[in-house]
C-alpha cells in the first residue's frame, strides 16, 4: 500500500526555537495532505489541510503563524512549529489523501513526537 | 459538529478470546465509517470501512456493521491473536465537512 513517511520521528528542542517536521508520500502523489495533533489518550485533532501549491486551511483555534505549513510539491508537506513552547509538546501526525477508483483514502505517517523543554 | 465516541481502554484479553470495541457517532447526514489500527511505532492503517447503512466492513477477521438506527459501528473479532495488539481508532468521514473525525482510540493488548 501507499507509504507516508515523517521526519524526524522524535525531536527535543529548547523553548523559543523552531522545529520543522517533514511529511512525504513515498510512492504516490498527494494533492491534499493533513496535519493532526494527538495528546496522550486523546483523539487525533485536525490542525490544517494542505493543498499543493496553495495556502493551508487551518482549523478553528489553530494559530497559522505558530504552525506554518508548506506544501511545495505533490510528495512533500512541512510543518514548522515556530517559537516552540512546552505546551506545544505533542505527537504530530501527517496524512496524505489519494483518490482510489471510487473513493478517497487517507494514508498516515508514523508521527513525530515533539518535546519542548 | 461531527463526533465519535469509542470505548475507553486499555483492553486486555487472552489469546482466542472474543473482542468487541464499541463505537458510536454523531454526524449530519450519512457519513462513511472507518476503523484504523496503529501498531507500535507505525502509522495508522485502514482496517475496514463501511460507506452506507447496513454495510459490513471486514478485514483480517475483524468486522463492523454500519448501524444507522443506533448510530454505531462496533468492531468485533471472534478470536484474537497476540499480533492484534495495537491501538484501534474509530473514525467517520463527514461529507458536509469532508474531514475525518476520530475517536480517542482503544489500546488492545492480547496476552498469550
The residue count for chain A: 117
Q: What is the pLDDT of residue A103?
A: 64
At residue A10, does pLDDT exceed 70? yes
**CA distance to A30, A54, A62, A77, B18, per residue, from A72 (Å):** 11, 8, 21, 7, 47
Question: pLDDT band at residue A1, thresholds of 50, 70 and 90?
Answer: low
- Summarize pLDDT for A46-99 with one digit per residue, the tens: 999 998 888 899 999 999 999 999 988 889 999 999 999 999 999 999 999 887
Q: Per the CB < 8 Å rule, is B102 touching A109? A: no
d(CA A35, CA A58): 10
The answer to whether A44 contacts chain B (CB < 8 Å) is: yes
Q: A5: distance to nearest CA of chain B, Å?
A: 9
Radius of gyration of chain A (CA): 14
Residue A102 pLDDT greater than 70, yes or no: no
- The pLDDT value given to residue A101: 60
From the list B42, B46, B101, which residue is nearest A105 (CB)? B46
Map grid coordinates 477508483 to a residue: A101
Between CA A101 and CA A111 the distance in angstroms is 27
Place of cell 489500546: B107
Strands B11-14 and B106-111: parallel
Contacts of A105 in chain B (CB under 8 A): 46
Q: Does A106 touch chain B (CB under 8 A)?
A: yes
Chain B interface disruption, residue of A108, A109, A111, A113, most B CBs within 10 A:
A108
What integer pLDDT is reported at residue A52 of this predicted model? 83
CA distance A17 to A116: 9
Q: Nearest CA to CA, how far is A1 from chain B (Å)? A: 10
Q: What's the CA gap between B79 and B87, in Å, rounded? A: 17
Q: Which residues of A touch B102 (CB under 8 A)?
A: 43-44
B45 contacts on A by Cβ (under 8 Å): 1, 108
* Number of neighbours of residue B105 by Cβ within 10 angstroms: 25
Residue B105, chain A, CB below 8 Å: the answer is yes
Chain-centroid distance of CA A65 in Å reads 15
| Record: contact A46-B99, CB cut-off 8 A | yes
Buried b (16+ CB within 10 A) or exposed e, B20-37: ebbbbbebeeebbbbbbb
At A39 the pLDDT is 82
Mean pLDDT to the nearest integer, A5-12: 95
Residues B10 and A40: their CA atoms lie apart, in Å, by 13
Query: E strands within B1-112?
Result: 3-6, 11-14, 19-21, 23-26, 32-38, 44-50, 56-59, 62-65, 75-77, 86-94, 99-102, 106-111
Instruction: Summarize pLDDT for A16-42 with one digit per residue, the tens.
Output: 999 999 999 998 888 799 999 988 777
Amino acid at each position: 500500500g501507499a507509504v507516508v513517511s515523517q521526519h524526524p520521528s522524535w525531536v527535543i528542542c529548547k523553548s523559543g526555537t523552531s522545529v520543522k517536521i517533514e511529511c512525504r508520500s513515498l510512492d504516490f502523489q498527494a494533492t491534499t495532505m493533513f496535519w493532526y495533533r494527538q495528546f496522550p489518550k486523546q483523539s487525533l485533532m485536525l490542525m490544517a489541510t494542505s493543498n499543493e501549491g496553495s495556502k493551508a486551511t487551518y482549523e478553528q483555534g489553530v494559530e497559522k503563524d505558530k504552525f506554518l505549513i508548506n506544501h511545495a510539491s505533490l510528495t512533500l508537506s512541512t510543518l514548522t512549529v515556530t517559537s516552540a513552547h512546552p505546551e506545544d509538546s505533542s505527537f504530530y501526525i501527517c496524512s496524505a489523501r489519494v483518490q482510489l477508483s471510487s473513493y478517497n483514502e487517507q494514508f498516515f505517517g508514523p508521527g513525530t513526537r515533539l518535546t519542548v523543554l | 459538529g461531527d463526533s465519535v465516541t469509542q470505548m475507553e481502554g486499555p483492553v486486555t484479553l487472552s489469546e482466542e478470546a472474543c473482542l468487541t470495541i464499541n463505537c458510536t457517532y454523531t454526524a449530519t447526514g450519512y457519513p462513511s465509517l472507518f476503523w484504523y489500527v496503529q501498531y507500535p511505532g507505525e502509522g495508522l492503517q485502514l482496517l475496514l470501512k463501511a460507506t452506507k447503512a447496513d454495510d459490513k466492513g471486514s478485514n483480517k477477521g475483524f468486522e463492523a456493521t454500519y448501524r444507522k438506527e443506533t448510530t454505531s459501528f462496533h468492531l468485533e473479532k471472534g478470536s484474537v491473536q497476540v499480533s492484534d495488539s495495537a491501538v484501534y481508532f474509530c473514525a467517520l468521514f463527514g461529507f458536509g465537512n469532508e474531514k475525518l473525525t476520530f475517536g480517542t482510540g482503544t489500546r488492545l493488548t492480547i496476552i498469550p
